[in-house]
Amino acid sequence: MASSFLSSEEYDERAHQLYNEGNYDGALATLREGLALYPNAVELHIGIGYARLARDEFAWARRSFEEALVLDPEHEDGLAGLGETLLRFGQVDAAKRMFAHVRALGYDDDIELMHQIGRALFREDEFEEAIEFFEVAIRQAPDNAESVALVGYAQHRLGRDDEAVEALRRALKIDAGFVEARIYLGNLLYDRGEFEAALYQLDQSQPEDHWDDLGIWRLIELRKSHLHVAEGDPSFEPWEARLAELAPSVDATEDLLTELETRFNEQDEREARDQLELFGTLLEQLTGEQAAAVVHQVVANDGRQHDGTWDGIVEQLRAASATASGMTIGEFMRSEARRGFVLTGVVIAADDAERFVRGCADAGLLRIVH
């Protein structure tokens, strides 16, 4: 009964706390309760919009933001939220108009809001526009390490790695404890083949700093290859424990990969049946010499060259990996497919050597020469 005497601001504050804890259902229930008492409370409508957005309920989120803007057409959070929702519907130009309106209203000095809009654009691959908002934040607070690092992340996605490295190093000069930027820089340097520099950055992180397994695997690999730490060394134990903690998210990714691979396999099987009669005669006429394995060549991102059949190349890649000790070929391909997906978002097949290698090439993890 006492909750009915809460003010709209108190309902909003409670909902914010639940939202920040990741309890979107609880936040939504609190906001609905508040709106039943205060139907014209703009902040409560906006709160529902963001809770809906967090639950991927985009149509409902849009409705809530629009209801808020009917009550207050120039509310900066409502405009930003509606813009973010429009991006999810692919209405990029309309979203950008919302974001431009926020700036026109004079909210450039709201660094958190500039970050929010920039991140929304970043998630939809609008990297140049994202940089514009991050740089607005930098102009307001040049020593804000997060703003500088966000520019670096976007530059990396645009392929401007030299600028990205410079931005991330600047962010770390501002705040040496900004571990997110340090891990990102370590992974970026690893991709560039600057392994000692990558080790220097990753080695300054702690297991709990990592929220995916990529940086951990690379740190373990680099400690083995550059610091000559032996397999099974006790220093690896906390890192392996963190990998175990992250396993559920890895399993979810593997489930997605398996589902997609199954679809691809089913399509391949249908196409194979359609072509069977066409190629049957030719296959029967192949001589032993004609059926001999074709030699291919790939170059990994660390500069190592691998030659042979597709199966042979995968075996060489496994042998070259410091983290694949004791893995079967199948386990190695699945492990690398998971890591590749986490890093690039590209689905890499793990059920066939040729498809695996070509998938790695599509993800930018290696280059096929022939």
In the chain, % helix, strand, coil (3-state, to 5) comes to 70, 5, 25
Give the start-to-end residue ranges of the domains of the chain.
2-205, 248-276+293-368
| pLDDT over 50 at 369, yes or no | yes
What is the average pLDDT across 102-113? 97
224-236: average pLDDT: 93
Beta strands in the chain (DSSP E): 296-300, 305-308, 366-368
Confidence (pLDDT) at 256: 60
- pLDDT tens digits, one per residue of 131-155: 999 999 999 999 999 999 999 999 9
Task: Supply 10's token pair.
Answer: 């108190």
DSSP 224: H
Task: Specify the pTM.
Answer: 0.67
Give the chain's length. Answer: 370
Q: Measure the CA–CA gap between 68 and 42, rounded to whole angstroms.
A: 5
Structure-model confidence comparison of residues 292 and 226, the more confident one: 226
Q: Output Rg (C-alpha) for the chain, integer angstroms.
A: 25
Q: Which fold has domain 2-205?
A: 1.25.40
